[in-house]
Chain A
Amino acid sequence: MKTSTSRRDFLRMSTTSAFVLALGFSSESKGKLLKKVTTTGVQINPYININEAGKVTLFNPRPDMGQGTYQILPMLLAEELDIPLDQVEIQMTDGSDRFGSQLSGGSSSVRTRWIPLRTAGATVREMLVQAAANRWKISMNDCSTKDGFVINKISQAKLSYGELVEEASHLPVPAKPKLKSFAEFTQLGKPSMRPDVPAKVDGTAIFGMDVQLPGMLYASILHSPTIYGKVQSYDATKAMAVKGVRFVLKTERVFFHGPYSDSGGFDQKLRGKAEAIAVVSESYWSALKAKKLIQVSWNALGFGETATEQYFNQAKAAALHEGNEYKDAKVGDFAKALQLSDYKVQGTYQTPFMSHAPMEPCNATVFVQGDQVEVWAPIQGPDGLVNDLATYLGVKRENIKINVTFMGGAFGRKAVFDFVMQAANLSKQVNAPVKVIWTREDDIQQGPYRPGMISAMQGGLDKDGNVLAFEHRLNGASIMASVFKADMRNNPDPWAGEGINLEDSPYAFPARRNSFNWIDPQMPVLWWRSVYASTNVFAQESFMDELAAEGEKDPLDLRLHLLRDAPKFVSVLNKLAEISDYRAKRKQGVSIGIAIARSFASIVAHAIVVEKQNTGGVKIKHVYSVIDCGFPLNPDNIKAQVESNIVYGLSAAVCNQITRTHGKTEQSNFHEYTVLRQGEIPASTIYVMPSQDEPGGVGEPGLPPIAPALCNAIFLATGKRVRTLPFDLSSI
């Protein structure tokens, strides 16, 4: 990814003026919010369009869910193009092939587009400079660029990009455009204002929820309470009597990337689709009211008695045996090293199933007209959606157009498109644009969920407390099996080793082993912010402190010693110790706990200070954080993402979880799936490490070490070791 750029990114779109028709949104007029915005101009590569008036449009291939891609991806283009981001218009890409991968996920947006997008910007800049040099009959070296102009360094004459673009588009595409050095950046690398913020303080930002089309109908969905299920029979008489209701129909919920058969999957259990009933109405309120009046008899397909308790019991039983081994975490002979140890330590950790619960529930507006499909939706990846829709509807990929809106949060949930497929299915059935809106109850009760996991940890120490052997057995559901219907019975899920492989966790243990035992969750599971790193690191970093306690070492010193060959980790820990005053004497009942993890190519360490309360429980006093995510592109947004991960991760540690009995989810809305609110958030101090390395991920790496830092602090303050999440801070 570092040097080569896909050819696709560099195809010259045309040699003459190209007309790009794009759909945009405007929120001025009431009711009819959709307007056609026409951009004309020359498109030298797919990401950049410049018209003769000098207006620059940049195409953004990474949907924004709050993590800041709306700014930072176009800024990669703008930096090299030498135009301030506030002078350009940003449009989201539509899923077409020419934009390559367009998925926001795995904190990968900048990492994968860091070179390609900058190269795209530099290519166009060089062609504009060449065009100007030709016109002035001077060498390119005598030209510079600034703020959308090429400047003649000899005469100080200026030509705008708009004046040059037509000519530039006829020139050969430079094979190796020169990229700026970090020192030459004028936009990247300093705190900057995100261009989406103004629209998010005055109500004009358009989320999927806000899309309105002429003739659009609204749909609410009655899902199978057991998630997987079929409709045996239903009575819609009362629902049809509600004013505004136009149709009550059977629809489907398909599970992820196919196959969309109802018995798909290697063991006939991981199903491809479920059935549901939809109310399609002239208003959403009437659709919601009518949904409550439908009588359905469901066939639970054998999922009627599944329970999370049973799942965890199975996982704990599996944890007694070694699972399928991870090659990327193997060091030495673990069994032998454990045998030779003077002390053995064990700990079994449990992390729950979680709902993403983004603020904006899933929704999508789709219009299927014959073999043409258009979508307006808050989704993480328009290209993946094109693929899934093409398979599902049997239409050509080029006939599918995706309009990506802002997402009101996603955290992984909107990288699968079951809710969009529902809208497509319904639009096709009723021959009108349909907007499907899931309720919060649909969101929390229907999954997909982060898998709950059992991590069985074992360690061996010598007499002096040195760690000789370290084992992490993962036991639980496979996201690979859920999303791609892969058979994970005899393989370790490759994603499940995240955050604890040797690259992410370079602790110098003489012997080490990670393995995975697959347990069928009997429900759809999916990546959730930081994915398995969120569950793995809780166990691993908590257990590090258990080993430190057993070996009578300071937790920071033990880590510094074991990470001695990983200088970046050491720097992060030293900085953390400094900003948190780690070694200060604290009064009785006040303790500081730490944890560190690398995930998505960035290192984050947190230190949490807790105070034991006389009334019982503990109070979080302060969170200190250090992040090394390589060259910090917008340090203020990096801080914001760490703040966000602290809150999201603490909510998961001390508030919420998904439990299921009799095939049903026990939580339904924010009174049962509680989240942290204003007044429950500790103060934080965040330090972003300066770095000249390639940028790493930002949206997720702050999450994994938060829960173990908290639990390590609690252990030091109270002597109680928390091994199961979530727990209640006030009664610990």
Chain B
Amino acid sequence: MSIYQLTVNKKKHRVDVDSDTPLLWVIRDVIGYTGTKFGCGMGLCGACTVLLNGSPIRSCSTPVSTLKATDKITTIEGLSEKATHPVQEAWVEAQVPQCGYCQSGQILAASALLASNPNPSDEDIDTAMAGNICRCGTYTRMRQAIHSAAKKIQNTKKS
């Protein structure tokens, strides 16, 4: 076991874990943010998606030893205060989640897409979201919600 320094949701954490421990289990079981989910453990489903310096990564396949103390890790709990991120708001308005288990990952992937591409086309959405499985099949609503979140973001910028 070794000590690692991590910055998760703007807070610094010191964790004592094996170097090969995936970030997923550190976030969930050591730090206690359980919004990040385990779905496949192989980088195939996206349920474990978190943001690393703003880009989506699969935390199940990211050993803790590969992270620096200065890396900014964002989980669903840290995306916004009180679920006010435009993607979260659009998600509620479109009533996207069903079981909800994939949704933390989906929302983080969508927020990263919009941060780099404020007006994504359907094809951009297909590419950016292809790594995130939803077994409940909420894909159509997610697409709608991403488009409406994009509009929300543009409108706030204008005003």
Interface residues of A (CB under 8 A from B): 27, 29-31, 33, 64-68, 193-194, 196-207, 209-210, 212, 218, 243, 283-286, 288-289, 357-361, 406-411, 437, 439-440, 636-637, 640, 643-648, 669-671, 675-679, 681, 683-684
Residues B137 and A669 in contact, CB atoms below 8 Å apart: no
**Can you list 21 residue pairs at the A/B interface with Cβ under 8 Å?**
A31-B32, A65-B99, A66-B97, A68-B98, A200-B97, A202-B77, A202-B79, A202-B88, A205-B100, A218-B29, A283-B21, A284-B25, A358-B135, A360-B37, A408-B99, A643-B138, A676-B139, A677-B139, A678-B142, A679-B125, A684-B140
Measured in the bound complex, the distance between the Cα atoms of B134 and A632 in whole Å is 25
Nearest 3 CB-CB pairs, A to B? A203-B35, A647-B137, A408-B101
Question: Residues 34-45 of chain B: 1 if any A CB is under 8 Å from the residue's CB, otherwise 0?
Answer: 111111111011
The count of A-to-B residue pairs whose CB atoms sit within 8 angstroms is 200
Assuming the A-B contacts A285-B22, A670-B40, A670-B42, are A406 and B99 also in contact, with contact meaning beta carbons closer than 8 angstroms in the complex?
Answer: yes
Q: Which of B80, B103, B141 has the most CB of A within 10 A?
A: B103
Min CB–CB distance A73 → chain B (angstroms) = 16
In chain B, positions 119-141 with a C-beta closer than 8 Å to chain A are: 125-127, 129-141
Which of B17, B97, B135, B140 is in CB contact (< 8 Å) with A675? B135
Residues B139 and A681 in contact, CB atoms below 8 Å apart: yes
Question: Residues 66-109 of chain B: 1 if any A CB is under 8 Å from the residue's CB, otherwise 0?
Answer: 00000000011101101100001001100111111111100100
Min CB–CB distance A667 → chain B (angstroms) = 12
Min CB–CB distance B39 → chain A (angstroms) = 5
Assuming the A-B contacts A643-B137, A675-B133, are A29 and B99 also in contact, with contact meaning beta carbons closer than 8 angstroms in the complex?
Answer: no
Residues from chain A with Cβ under 8 Å of B40 in the complex: 440, 669-670
Measured in the bound complex, the distance between the Cα atoms of B95 and A210 in whole Å is 23
Residues A209 and B38 in contact, CB atoms below 8 Å apart: yes
Measured in the bound complex, the distance between the Cα atoms of B136 and A361 in whole Å is 14
Min CB–CB distance A242 → chain B (angstroms) = 9
Given contact pairs A197-B97, A201-B97, A209-B34, a sample of 14 additional A-B residue pairs in the complex whose CB atoms are under 8 Å apart: A68-B98, A197-B92, A201-B96, A202-B83, A203-B33, A204-B77, A209-B38, A361-B39, A407-B99, A440-B45, A670-B42, A677-B132, A678-B130, A684-B140
Residues B99 and A677 in contact, CB atoms below 8 Å apart: no
Which of A409, A440, A669, A679 is in CB contact (< 8 Å) with B126? A679
Measured in the bound complex, the distance between the Cα atoms of B30 and A350 in whole Å is 48
Question: Is B51 in the interface zone, CB < 8 Å from A?
Answer: no
Min CB–CB distance B108 → chain A (angstroms) = 10
Q: Name B79's closest neighbour in chain A (CB-CB).
A: A202
Residues B137 and A648 in contact, CB atoms below 8 Å apart: yes
Residues B35 and A359 in contact, CB atoms below 8 Å apart: no
Assuming the A-B contacts A66-B98, A203-B77, are A359 and B37 also in contact, with contact meaning beta carbons closer than 8 angstroms in the complex?
Answer: yes
Measured in the bound complex, the distance between the Cα atoms of B139 and A288 in whole Å is 32
Residues A202 and B76 in contact, CB atoms below 8 Å apart: yes
Q: Which of A196, A212, A243, A408 has the most CB of B within 10 A?
A: A408
Min CB–CB distance A650 → chain B (angstroms) = 9
Question: Is B47 in the interface zone, CB < 8 Å from A?
Answer: yes
Min CB–CB distance A362 → chain B (angstroms) = 12
Task: Determine chain B's interface SS by DSSP, over half rule.
Answer: loop
Min CB–CB distance B26 → chain A (angstroms) = 9
Residues A285 and B18 in contact, CB atoms below 8 Å apart: yes
Assuming the A-B contacts A285-B21, A440-B42, are A30 and B32 also in contact, with contact meaning beta carbons closer than 8 angstroms in the complex?
Answer: yes
Measured in the bound complex, the distance between the Cα atoms of B38 and A143 in whole Å is 53
Residues B140 and A33 in contact, CB atoms below 8 Å apart: no
Min CB–CB distance B129 → chain A (angstroms) = 4
Q: Which of B34, B79, B98, B134 has the most CB of A within 10 A?
A: B98
Residues A409 and B101 in contact, CB atoms below 8 Å apart: yes
Residues from chain B with Cβ under 8 Å of A200 in the complex: 97, 100, 103
Q: Which of B25, B34, B127 has the most CB of A within 10 A?
A: B34
Measured in the bound complex, the distance between the Cα atoms of B142 and A407 in whole Å is 20
Min CB–CB distance A5 → chain B (angstroms) = 30
Measured in the bound complex, the distance between the Cα atoms of B145 and A24 in whole Å is 31
Which of A27, A361, A645, A679 is in CB contact (< 8 Å) with B129? A679
Assuming the A-B contacts A27-B34, A677-B130, are A643 and B141 also in contact, with contact meaning beta carbons closer than 8 angstroms in the complex?
Answer: yes
Measured in the bound complex, the distance between the Cα atoms of B138 and A67 in whole Å is 12
Question: Is B147 in the interface zone, CB < 8 Å from A?
Answer: no
Q: Name A68's closest neighbour in chain B (CB-CB).
A: B98
Residues from chain A with Cβ under 8 Å of B143 in the complex: 678
Min CB–CB distance A632 → chain B (angstroms) = 15
Residues A361 and B139 in contact, CB atoms below 8 Å apart: no
Min CB–CB distance A368 → chain B (angstroms) = 22
Q: Which of B20, B29, B36 has the most CB of A within 10 A?
A: B29
Residues A201 and B136 in contact, CB atoms below 8 Å apart: no
Residues B141 and A640 in contact, CB atoms below 8 Å apart: yes
Question: Is B31 in the interface zone, CB < 8 Å from A?
Answer: yes
Residues from chain B with Cβ under 8 Å of A209 in the complex: 34, 37-38
Assuming the A-B contacts A31-B32, A197-B92, A636-B95, are A409 and B42 also in contact, with contact meaning beta carbons closer than 8 angstroms in the complex?
Answer: no
Measured in the bound complex, the distance between the Cα atoms of B1 and A289 in whole Å is 14
Measured in the bound complex, the distance between the Cα atoms of B79 and A437 in whole Å is 27
Measured in the bound complex, the distance between the Cα atoms of B34 and A29 in whole Å is 11
Residues from chain A with Cβ under 8 Å of B129 in the complex: 677-679
